[in-house]
């Protein structure tokens, strides 16, 4: 969709607001062109001694009334216009938010957060200005131009009018060349601002690392370089926008010279009155606004077009994981992974290769193996964060693609490797999946996750703000809060993706004991590097290089004396040494 189609559709949808604003602008234009004609008639009447004091005062009162009406109409059209234009900005931001929220992790791998934020702010602001200021300024300028030229040529003298318009074709050609430059400069400015925004967002998110590594000076220099680049691009766009004014000035100067020369000649030969020449001169002054409006409109439209070339493809892009399912009810039953093979984008080695598993309702399976073996990938495919490539996943013998995404994810309690906490209180983060949960329920799941004591030691207890991304808490506390949140959801499927990696072995044992009770009746998949976390699972699968190399219960795998048995002995030895 082009910017023109977007604006046309929006104007059509809000035609009442735009029609009312256009009507007010038309009233302003008509009153504006009547004022010079009235002034000319007053001057001619005074020179001919046809106007007395009372008549003069009456004419001046009419001029004041026109000026007052113009003032209130201008205020009215601006209020009416921007009320509609701001709706477009709100609509675009809502569409962009929904489009981004519908995308899977694969979509964000090649995109920068700061640049996406810049598109949601600066780019949409540019489109909003094109829908508001540009459209109505264009209408106002063109209406004023038509009325003024009509009054100059038809109402006063057509020869003088045509002579005054001689510089206009040259000015139009200059406007066209300048607008092309503005388009390219505006697009470069928006892209550089996105890069600057991304650097700021990345630096602030990793400020602890920046300080720990002493990178403040280097990051400051990089920020200064990007800021200078963004400033240069903006200055380039402003420089070309500034070229409109001299061009308008030159055109008006030439028109004024031609008007005075020809007008003086006509007055000298009594083919034109002084009042008419005065009116014509005032009309010539009124052409300043249409000329400036043309430059202003072209500038805003080019900025809007540059912004839309960045926004349009983002809004039109289909979700990386299609949500074409129709089923909304999922009866927990057998969960099966059949011959899964998956390769991440821009990689050649498969993360999963011919993986098959079956998990009955209420059972617990442990997934273990070296780093990069494909354990977390299996959970991401189950959560439909990535589309399946080969093989299938079924729940109750129904492929998961046939379920709606919201329905599928609504029955899953998931604790990721790096749990995310929002800038809210501890209680609000736990109750994220159940905002109506009572404080007693929140405290109950916090005790199951062995984090209740930690919370009560915080300054405000459960009402303590955790800061952005949980910066006020330790890694282990963040993990346990995420476990509490998943338990509060009371979902029939619980996924723990290395959720105990940041807690000590004593706390791990306490949490596992609580989970044995909490997970009864639930289907549970536990991914862990600590084998003690999966020792009591109904079955354990060892993944290495994307393939299942061992499978069985804890005791059976120890007897097999493979990778699992060797890793178990190593971890037990390590735990005994730590206890000394």
Question: How confident is the model over 490-521, as pLDDT tens digits?
Answer: 788 888 888 877 777 777 777 877 777 766 67
Q: How many CB atoms lie within 10 A of CB 175?
A: 20
Q: What is the mean pLDDT of residues 546-572?
A: 88
Structure tokens at 274: 């002084």
More confident of the two residues 427 and 574: 427
Task: Please state, in angstroms and as integers, the Cα–Cα distance from residue 346 to each residue in 33, 108, 320, 349, 546, following that order.
Answer: 65, 13, 15, 10, 17
Once rounded to an integer, what is the mean pLDDT over residues 543-561?
89
Instruction: Dig out the tokens for 221 from the structure.
Output: 């220099």
Contact between residue 564 and residue 531 where contact means Cβ atoms under 8 Å apart: yes
Q: What residue ranges define each of the domains in the chain, with the CATH number in brackets? A: 3-316 (1.20.1560.10), 325-411+492-580 (3.40.50.300), 418-490 (3.40.50.300)
Q: Which residue has the higher pLDDT, 374 or 240?
A: 374
Q: What is the 3-state secondary structure (H, E, C) of 97-159?
A: HHHHHCCCHHHHCCCCHHHHHHHHHHHHHHHHHHHHHHHHHHHHHHHHHHHHHHHHHHHHCHH
pLDDT over 80 (residue 461): yes
Residue 397 pLDDT > 80, yes or no? Answer: yes
Residue 546 pLDDT > 60: yes
Q: Among 3-12, 325-334, 560-569, which is the least confidently predicted range?
A: 3-12
Among 258, 244, 238, 235, which Cα is nearest to 174's? 244
**Residues 142, 301: contact at Cβ < 8 Å?**
no
pLDDT tens digits along 90-131: 888 888 888 887 787 777 776 777 778 878 887 888 888 777
Any bridge partners for residue 395, and if so which? 335, 398
d(CA 113, CA 100): 11
pLDDT band at 9 (very low <50, low <70, confident <90, very high): confident
Output the CA–CA distances (angstroms, integers) from residue 357 to 308, 340, 536, 547, 551, in the order listed: 47, 9, 18, 11, 10
Please give, one letter per residue, the 3-state secondary structure of 516-536: HHHCCCCEEEEECCCHHHCCC
Q: What is the distance between the alpha carbons of residues 174 and 251, in angstroms, rounded to a whole number?
A: 11
Our CA angle for 172, 177, 179, nearest 5°, is 90
Tens digit of each residue's pLDDT (9 = 90 or more) over 330-372: 777 788 999 999 998 778 889 999 999 998 888 889 999 888 8
Quote the CA–CA distance of 571 and 383 in Å, as a whole number.
31
Mean pLDDT across the chain, nearest whole number? 79
Cite the DSSP H helix spans in 317-387: 375-382
- pLDDT score recorded for residue 48: 67
Check residue 275 and give its pLDDT: 67
Look at residue 367 in the predicted model and tell me its pLDDT: 92
Which of the two residues, 251 and 529, has the higher pLDDT score? 529
At 542, is the secondary structure helix, strand, or coil?
strand
Report pLDDT for 541.
92
Q: Which of 539, 535, 473, 475 is nearest to 501 (CA)?
A: 475
**Residue 543 scores a pLDDT above 80:** yes
498 sits in the region (left: phi over 0; alpha: psi -120 to 50; else beta) called: left
Residue 564: pLDDT over 80: yes
33-47, 122-136, 186-200, 458-472 — which is least confidently predicted? 33-47
Quick one: pLDDT at residue 519? 65
The neighbour count for residue 282, using CB atoms within 10 Å, is: 18
- As a whole-number percent, the residues of the chain with pLDDT over 90 amount to 4
- Rounded Cα gap, residues 438 and 415, in angstroms: 21
The DSSP bridge partners found for residue 164 are none
Q: Given 3-state DSSP classes, what are the helix, strand and coil percentages for the chain, each rounded to the nearest 5?
A: 65, 10, 25
- What is the distance between the alpha carbons of residues 462 and 481, in angstroms, rounded to a whole number? 11
Identify the pLDDT of residue 547: 92
Greater pLDDT, 214 or 387: 387
* Rounded Cα distance, 503 and 483, in Å: 12
Within 10 A of 453 (CB to CB), how many other CB atoms are there? 9
484 has a pLDDT exceeding 70: yes
Tokens 């209020």 -> residue: 79
Q: What pLDDT does residue 268 have?
A: 74
Q: Is the entire prediction scored with pTM above 0.85?
A: no
Express as a percent the part of the chain with pLDDT over 70.
90
Report how far apart the first and last C-alpha atoms of the chain are (Å, whole number): 69
Residue 579 has pLDDT above 70, yes or no: no
More confident residue, 460 or 189: 460
Given a cut of 60, is residue 527 above it in pLDDT? yes
Residue 99, Cβ density class (10 Å: 0-12 exposed, 13-18 middle, ≥19 buried): middle
Sign of CA pseudo-dihedral 443, 445, 450, 454: negative
Task: Report the pLDDT value the prediction gives residue 342, as an integer from 0 to 100.
Answer: 92
Whether residue 155 has pLDDT greater than 70: no
Segment 185-211 mean pLDDT: 74
């Amino acid at each position: 969709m082009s910017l023109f189609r977007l604006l046309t559709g929006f104007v059509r949808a809000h035609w009442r607001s735009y029609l009312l604003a256009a009507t007010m602008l038309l009233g302003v234009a008509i009153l504006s062109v009547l004022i010079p004609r009235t002034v000319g008639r007053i001057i001619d009447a005074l020179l001919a001694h046809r106007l007395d004091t009372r008549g003069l005062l009456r004419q001046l009162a009419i001029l004041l009334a026109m000026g007052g009406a113009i003032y209130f109409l201008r205020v009215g059209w601006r209020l009416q216009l921007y009320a509609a234009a701001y709706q477009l900005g709100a609509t675009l931001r809502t569409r962009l938010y929904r489009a981004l929220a519908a995308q899977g992790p694969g979509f964000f791998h090649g995109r920068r957060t700061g640049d996406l934020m810049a598109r949601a702010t600066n780019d949409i602001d540019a489109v909003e200005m094109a829908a508001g200021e540009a459209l109505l300024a264009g209408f106002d300028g063109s209406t004023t131009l038509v009325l003024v030229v009509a009054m100059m040529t038809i109402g006063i003298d057509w020869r003088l009018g045509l002579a005054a318009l001689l510089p206009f074709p040259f000015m139009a050609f200059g406007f066209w060349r300048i607008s092309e430059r503005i388009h390219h400069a505006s697009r470069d400015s928006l892209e550089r601002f996105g890069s600057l925004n991304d650097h700021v967002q990345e630096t602030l998110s990793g400020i602890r690392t920046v300080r720990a590594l002493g990178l403040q000076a280097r990051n400051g220099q990089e920020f200064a370089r990007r800021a200078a680049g963004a400033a240069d691009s903006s200055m380039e766009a402003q420089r070309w926008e500034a070229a409109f004014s001299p061009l308008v000035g030159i055109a008006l100067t030439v028109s004024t010279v031609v008007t005075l020369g020809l007008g003086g000649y006509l007055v000298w030969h009594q083919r034109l009155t002084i009042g008419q020449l005065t009116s014509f001169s005032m009309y010539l002054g009124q052409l300043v606004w249409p000329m400036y409006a043309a430059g202003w409109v072209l500038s805003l439209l080019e900025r809007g077009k540059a912004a839309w070339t960045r926004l349009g493809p983002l809004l039109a892009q289909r979700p990386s994981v299609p949500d074409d399912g129709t089923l909304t009810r999922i009866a927990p039953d057998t969960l099966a992974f059949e011959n899964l093979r998956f390769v991440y984008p821009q990689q050649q080695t498969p993360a999963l290769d011919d993986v098959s598993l079956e998990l009955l309702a209420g059972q617990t399976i442990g997934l273990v193996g070296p780093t990069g073996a494909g354990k977390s990938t299996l959970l991401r495919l189950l959560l439909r964060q990535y589309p399946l490539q080969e093989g299938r996943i079924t729940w109750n013998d129904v492929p998961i693609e046939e379920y709606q995404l919201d329905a599928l994810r609504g029955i899953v309690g998931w604790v990721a490797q790096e749990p995310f906490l929002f800038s809210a209180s501890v209680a609000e983060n736990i109750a994220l999946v159940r905002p109506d949960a009572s404080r007693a329920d929140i405290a109950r799941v916090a005790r199951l996750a062995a984090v209740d004591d930690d919370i009560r030691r915080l300054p405000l207890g459960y009402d303590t703000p955790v800061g952005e991304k949980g910066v006020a808490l330790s890694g282990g506390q963040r993990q346990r809060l995420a476990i509490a949140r998943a338990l509060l959801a009371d979902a029939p499927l619980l996924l723990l993706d290395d959720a105990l990696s940041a807690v000590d072995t004593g706390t791990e044992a306490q949490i596992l004991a609580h989970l044995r009770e909490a997970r009864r009746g639930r289907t549970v998949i536990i991914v862990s590097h600590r084998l003690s976390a999966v020792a009591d699972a109904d079955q354990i699968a060892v993944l290495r290089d994307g393939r299942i190399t061992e499978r069985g219960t804890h005791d059976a795998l120890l007897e097999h004396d493979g990778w699992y048995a060797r890793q178990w002995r190593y971890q037990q030895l390590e735990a005994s040494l730590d206890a000394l």
